[in-house]
Structure 1
Amino acid sequence: MPGTGPAVAPYGSWRSPISAREVSSGGVGVGGARGLADGSVLWKEQRPGEGGRSVLVRRSPEGEVRDLTPPPFNVRTRVHEYGGGDFTVSETCGTVFFSNFSDGRVYRVRPGGEPEPLTHGGDLRYADFLLDGRRERLVCVREDGRNADAPEPRNELVSVSLADGSETVLATGRDFYSSPRLAPDGKSFAYLAWDHPNMPWDGTELHLAEVAPDGSLRVDRRVAGGPSKSVFQPEFSPGGELFFVSDRTGWWNLYRLEGESVEPIRPMEAEFGAPQWGLGMSRYAFLRDGRLVCAYSSEGISHLATLDPENGDLREIRTGYSAIDGVRASGGSVFFTGGSPSEPSAAVRLDVGSEEVEVLKRSRERWPEAGYLSEPEPVEFPTEGGLTAHALLYRPKNRDFEGPPGELPPLIVMSHGGPTSATSAAFSLGLQFWTSRGFTVLDVNYGGSSGYGRAYRDRLKGNWGVVDVADCANGARWLAERGLVDGERMAITGGSAGGYTTLCALAFTDTFSAGASHYGVSDVEALAKETHKFESRYLDGLIGPYPEARELYRERSPIHNPDGLSAPVIFFQGLEDRIVPPNQAETMVRALREKGLPVAYVPFEGEQHGFRRSENIERALEAELYFYSRVFGFSLADPVEPVEIENL
């Protein structure tokens, strides 16, 4: 019968049930789930509809759900700027401690009570909390910016008295600290430390110390790691043994300290660790019977498993989730954040005995039917030097539409941030926004991405702006050569470091005919001079020491190669971004304007590095779609607010 099949319409113009408003405000960020002794469960929600405010939520054993942190409290820290590890809870009594974003202070919430300040304020930030109940103190990483004359803030491990909020320094003298851990008997203390120019995935040291009667640390010694070995997430077992993850063999695997020697638990070509962009990360936890429950990734897919440290027996638990993080255990339950290709991410509880999964809180309660969702296809393609690169391919998918005969879909190449990070196969409504309108999306895990071993991660050493760009460009060309996309309508988009890859691809290749930079780097020399402490020496490894390699920085900066630009670009920028300041985007806009290329600039008041307000997320998504419609020449199914495009 006429009208029963899909309608024919140009790719990009398909009407989709996935609106920008739904992407921006229909969900919350969820994570940090953990259980309490009384059967309560705690997790954190980031709510775009409340200006990106992060809230701690508790579900009682009876099922009552309530917020523990009322407005205006925002559970977030700016240690390392990226934060993480911003709260902890006493599993026995339920008292919560958290960092509040606006004033940086640590607050305490007793059961049934309201937040009360514990620390005294000032230019101090706190994260990565450890509750030491024996000594009535909170141990954490403190970032001290009180000395205005110092070139950068000072990072230390400190204890905070629960009685009066007084602070005592436990470890100092290193550029960075993380992961404070206390043995069950309270006598041993472990932590990670590293120094410039290393990032934590380059090289960290695992230290083990004795805890003196007065609570100070003594006989502090390095037991693993070093300048070229990355150690991740130390943990003491219930029996007091020190476990940790190390990439000493080229893969982040689990190890145990046996006296003065290090013993592998289960050697695998898989990653049990991850880049420590944020504090408080957890990829494994101990069960009551001494086994571990752990998340590991292989070929870009996460798995959950139990691991017996005595015999190395690994048994996978089939959860249906392909992206797993934030693993913690309490009683007979395991808590984690899980995502799959077809369902939104969720805070999850797993019963260890039955292996039944309970969804505590989804990031969104409604999502499109399968007929509008494109499934990821892991692909490998040839790239420079005879090597292979990885990506996830998403084809256009909308049950109501199909493209005209002979027309190929436009392509959007997505370059993830970091750059030492990775994309995953977890459900992304923002990505489906594009495929349901008729775009093909190639989500690239370029050389330098994590999840494929240290050798793959190290491909970007000295080659940022080269390897990542080549991999994105080669992935696009590979699709065009196979007749899967329109080679004349290929765009590249990315945020932060992905924005830098985007701009480099537009300035140094002729592969793409449009681009979108979300708070992207255009001048790596300016980034080296202006960025915050955590990343202030990051570029030493990615490009070269600054200022010795200043000419190389200029060569790798799109802003210094305006003659190479030949495609339209749209820029999105938070005006309070300290990681990539607004002048990076604004300088690039001027260069494009002066060259006469189509350019659009969309700044956002009050936003930092990454957009958290729902109205700004919505505006950015619609503006990018509008930009592509004008550049690629297709009509939009629904009206959107236009964006001014100069020189078009």
Structure 2
Amino acid sequence: MTAPDFAIRSQVNGYGGGALCAGPDAAFAVEASQQQIHRIDPETGITKAVTQDPDASFGGLVWDACHHRVLAVRECAGRQQLVAVRDHNEVLPLHDSEDFYSAPALSASGKQMAWVCWSLPDVPWVRSVLWVADVDEDGTLVHTRCWPTPAEGSVQQPVFDGEKLHVLSDHEGWWQPWRVSFEDGQANWTCLDTTAADHASAPWQLGERHYCELGQDGWARVRYMDGVGELWLKRPAGSSPGKIAPDFTDFRHLVVQNDQLYCIARSATRLDSILAVDVATAQVRILAGNETPFPDVPIIAPEAFQVPPSKGVSEEVGGFWYPPVEGWSESDPPPTILIAHGGPTSTAWPVFHPQVQFWCHHGFAVAEVNYRGSSGFGRHFRMALAGNWGQADVEDMERAADYLAAVGKADARRLFIQGRSSGGYTALMAMTHSQRFRAGASLFGVSDPARLRELTHRFESGYLDWLLGSPEQFPERWHERTPVRQSHRIRRPMIFFQGGQDRVVVPEQTRAMVGELERNGQAVELWWFEEEGHGFRQRHNQVSLLRNLLAFYQRNSQKCDDGG
């Protein structure tokens, strides 16, 4: 529908989301370069800007059928508001008293609206609240009110089943579906599914949808069990719930239309797919995608692993292990790359990762670890990283390395650790903490949290204090957990990759870290990509990163005569 130079992407909160919605006769999308909402004609592909607000970004788009308009989150000059947009740059502010907004939801009649807000210094997976309002005939909001959860928690993804409001909340330990009703000025919260599982991932982006209502007590929901996404369907009118589409391991953006459930599904060995599920029969059809990534090359599927509790650590830690294509056995285990995911409140999902396949086809095993703080394992596990960043995550990466070596799936003498962004911080802290890893790789990783705290964007401006505690209250902790100040502890080779236009981990952080290692006489490499930002997008730079990182790992994985 769109021209090659029309990219769709929102930059609200830095992570975007909800950059596209569909009306009855047109689609609406946020164009990446200018961050304005465009109307897209599905017949001709002609696009027309419906907002002309050069200082603002839009995201979290939702179609309002009752008032024939687009609802959105508008971000401008460090402030956000909930707005309604019609053609010809008619932008009507709806609500603007809070720091942050998520995508809103409308009841079937269009007379009720619900959304989620959160306030600094919180991030939405720590603490957020549900808001509701009545919608007047002219589309304005009246009787606006805030309904906090019964206990401290994070809420997300409000939806209506007719006029009944549902929301996901973790105030009892898991992101579970709740029905919220209002009587005599009070909110009544009723849990709809007590399964001990998160029914969503951390809301880094706007517009996520992990469940939907089907009417007559029917529903579709995603459950994350031991890091694997499952799609569950309860057909209307009394049928029992059942798991469907078992060949897939993650599901996003659930929506129902004309008794068909649609979603984006992911698997470990195929490309992403669009699924259609017949609500009446539970039959699954693949509408698009699901291609074999490399037709002539075997795809390595992951194997889940669980690290049992250890002395002083009561939580189990899990992850996914990918063996090399060939050339290893338990008596001759492979060199292994342990990957710390970013966030750090993100998750390693067992879905297709081209870079993981790359390492497996070059003789390395790969282990993606869901350390404490990862999402998808309940509120307690996620909140365990509060004040413990650079300690709990590092301990868990080491525990995973020791476990894999003990069961013959990793060569203890040829362990590597790698991470991007906050995962790079975990890798750097692990390299300062012990000699367990043969070498480490930081891909635009955080090396100076205090510097990042000064420059980070508004969405995460209170996040580092949550991860490490206030620097005024815990100055020694900040010193001990700042890689650039602990660089003298690193005694093994390091490699760094950095974009010159990175606004998250500013380039000076990596230059300072490399400079300290060079002054200490340590083996260090720096690969600089001046035109890249936080994450490399240009294909030739992605290829260069892989080639140089592979050469680094190969040099450092050679077996020595002394067994080192």
TM-score (norm 1): 0.81
Counterpart residue number, 2:305: 378
- SS of equivalent to 1:460: coil
- Of structures 1 and 2, the one scoring higher in RCO (CA 8 A, sep 6+) is 1
What corresponds to 1:122 in structure 2? 54
Deviation of 1:219 (Å): 1.2
The answer to whether the 8 Å contact 1:321/1:338 transfers is yes
Partner amino acid for 1:218?
A: V
Moved more, 546-555 or 228-237: 546-555
> What letter is aligned with 1:136?
H
CA deviation string 1:455-508 (max 9, x = no partner): 111110110110000000121122223443222211100111111101110112
In the TM superposition, 1:47-446 aligns within 5 A as: 68-90=1-23, 92-93=24-25, 95-113=26-44, 114-145=46-77, 153-162=78-87, 164-225=88-149, 228-237=152-161, 239-259=162-182, 260-287=187-214, 289=216, 291-307=218-234, 313-362=240-289, 365-367=292-294, 373-383=300-310, 385-398=312-325, 401-403=326-328, 407-446=332-371
Q: Report matched runs for 1:537-552 at 5 Å.
A: 537-552=462-477
Look up the SS of the partner of 1:388 in the other structure. coil
Matched to 1:441, the amino acid is V
8 A Cα contact 1:391 1:446, kept in partner: yes
Structure 1 residues 316, 408: closer, same or farther in 2, change over 3 A? closer
The amino acid that maps onto 1:609 is: H
Partners of 2:18 and 2:103 within 8 A in 1: no
1:622 Cα deviation after fit: 1.4
Whichever residue aligns with residue 467 of structure 1, its letter is A
How many angstroms does 1:185 deviate by?
1.1
2:415 paired with 1:484 = no
Aligned to 1:584: 509
CA distance in 1, matches of 2:128, 2:277: 32
CA deviation map 1:291-314 (0-9, x unaligned): 111111111111111247997953
Q: Which moved more, 1:376-385 or 1:498-507?
A: 376-385
- TM-fit CA distance, 1:326: 1.9
CA contact (8 A) 2:110 2:135 kept: yes
Q: What's the secondary structure of 1:432's corresponding residue?
A: helix
Q: Letter of the 2:29 partner, please give it.
A: F
Which segments of 5 or more consecutive residues in structure 1 lack a partner in the other structure?
1-67, 146-152, 636-648
What is the CA deviation profile of residues 436-458 of structure 1, one whole-angstrom value per residue up to 9, with x for unaligned ones?
Answer: 32212221100111111111111
CA distance in 2, matches of 1:283, 1:632: 42
Query: Counterpart in 2 of 1:33?
Result: none
Amino acid corresponding to residue 552 of structure 1 in structure 2: R
Cα shift at 1:394: 2.5
Amino acid at match of 2:532: E
Alignment of 1:601 with 2:534, yes or no, is no
Deviation at 1:245, TM superposition (A): 0.5
Bigger mean CA offset, 108-117 vs 453-462: 108-117
Q: In 2, are the aligned partners of 1:297 and 1:303 still within 8 Å (CA)?
A: yes
Asked if 1:494 is matched to 2:419, the reply is: yes
Query: Is 1:524–1:554's contact at 8 Å kept on the other side of the alignment?
Result: no
Q: For 2:7 and 2:471, locate their aligned partners in 1 and report how far apart those are by CA, in whole Å.
A: 36
CA RMSD in angstroms, aligned pairs only: 2.3
CA contact (8 A) 1:371 1:397 kept: no
In structure 2, how many angstroms separate the alpha carbons of the residues matched to 1:328 and 1:196?
31
Alignment partner of 2:446: what SS?
A: coil
**What amino acid sits opposite 1:469 in the alignment?**
V
- Please say if residues 294 and 304 of structure 1, whose CA atoms lie closer than 8 Å, have aligned partners that are also in contact: yes
Give the letter for the 1:201 counterpart: W
Q: Secondary structure at the match of 1:341?
A: coil
Aligned-pair distance for 1:372?
5.2
* Distance (Å, rounded) in 2 between the aligned partners of 1:576 and 1:363: 34
The answer to whether the 8 A contact 1:420-1:449 is kept is yes
2:451 to 519, 526, 544: 526
Superposed CA offset, 1:193-248 (max 9, x none): 000111111111101111133322121112243883110100011x2110111111
Deviation at 1:575, TM superposition (A): 2.0
Change (3 A) 1:131 1:482: closer
- 8 Å contact from structure 1 (residues 306, 315) kept in 2: yes
Q: Which moved more, 1:405-414 or 1:187-196?
A: 405-414
One-letter amino acid of the counterpart of residue 53, structure 2: G
SS in 1 for 2:14: coil
Once the two structures are superposed, what CA deviation does each residue of 1:133-152 show, in whole Å capped at 9, x if it has no partner? Answer: 3333221101102xxxxxxx
Matched residue SS, 1:98:
strand
Sort the Cα spacing of 1:405 and 1:542 in 2 relative to 1 into closer, same or farther, 3 A.
closer
SS of 2:484's partner is helix
Q: What secondary structure does 1:622 align onto?
A: helix
**1:125 match: secondary structure:** strand
One-letter identity of the residue aligned with 1:471: D
What is the CA–CA distance in structure 1 between the aligned matches of 2:299 and 2:261, rounded to whole Å?
32
Deviation digits for residues 50-72 of structure 1 (CA, Å, limit 9, x no counterpart): xxxxxxxxxxxxxxxxxx22132
Any idea what the Cα deviations from partners look like across 1:64-102, whole Å, max 9, x if unmatched?
xxxx22132110011010111111111x32x11111111
Pair 312,602 (structure 1): closer, same or farther in 2 beyond 3 Å? farther
- How many residue pairs align between the two structures? 555
Q: Partner residue of 1:563?
A: 488
Task: Please tell me whether the aligned partners of residues 396 and 440 of structure 1 are also in contact (alpha carbons under 8 angstroms).
Answer: yes
CA distance 1:167–1:595, change in 2 (3 Å):
same
Show structure 2 runs of 5+ residues with no match.
none
Does the 8 A contact of 2:224 with 2:230 survive in 1? yes
Q: Is the 8 A contact 1:142 1:158 kept in 2?
A: yes
- Matched residue of 2:13: which SS? coil
CA-to-partner distance for each residue in 1:108-138, whole Å, 9 max, x for gaps?
A: 1123231111111311000001222333322
CA distance in 2, matches of 1:278, 1:597: 39
Q: Summarize the Cα distance change of 1:464–1:394 in structure 2 as closer, same or farther, 3 Å threshold.
A: same
- Aligned partner of residue 134 in structure 1, secondary structure: coil
Distance in 1, Cα, partners of 2:253 & 2:559: 42
Deviations 1:605-630 (A, max 9, x none): 33222222222222111111011112
CA distance in 2, matches of 1:434, 1:323: 23
Aligned match for 2:429, one of 481, 484, 504 = 504
